[in-house]
């Protein structure tokens, strides 16, 4: 278990904790917040994975993931607020 693998395990557990928040969250906005935190932790996991494997094309995946996480979070938040007349 090298250092990066331990870091990956810890980040995975923290991602699970933010998913737990999304599951438990009483309101819909807690769920969006859990989704947003999970997507940011996934970006961290992918970048550390890219560092572990010394492959730089994985970083493009992390960037696209962060982009989609951001757009998804904003659109879900607006949908919850305004209904379908967005």
**What's the min distance (Å) between Cβ of 74 and other proteins?**
5
Cα Dmax for the chain: 51
CB 3 within 8 A of CB 19: no
CB 36 within 8 A of CB 24: no
Residue numbers at the binding site for other proteins (CB under 8 A): 3, 7, 10-11, 14, 17-18, 21, 27, 29-30, 32-34, 36-37, 40-41, 43-44, 47-48, 50-51, 54, 56, 59-60, 62-63, 66-67, 69-70, 73-74, 77-78, 80-81
Least distance in Å: CB of 30 to other proteins? 6
CB of 15 to other proteins, least distance (A): 9
Q: Residue 62 has which token pair?
A: 């992390």
CA 29 to CA 13: how far, in whole Å? 22
């Amino acid at each position: 278990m090298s250092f990066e693998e331990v870091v990956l395990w810890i980040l995975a557990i923290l991602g699970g904790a933010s998913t737990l928040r999304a599951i438990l969250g009483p309101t819909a906005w807690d769920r969006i917040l859990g989704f947003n935190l999970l997507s940011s932790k996934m970006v961290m996991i992918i970048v550390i994975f890219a560092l572990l494997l010394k492959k730089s094309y994985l970083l493009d995946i992390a960037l696209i993931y962060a982009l989609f996480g951001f757009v998804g979070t904003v659109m879900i938040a607006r949908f919850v607020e305004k209904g379908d007349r967005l």
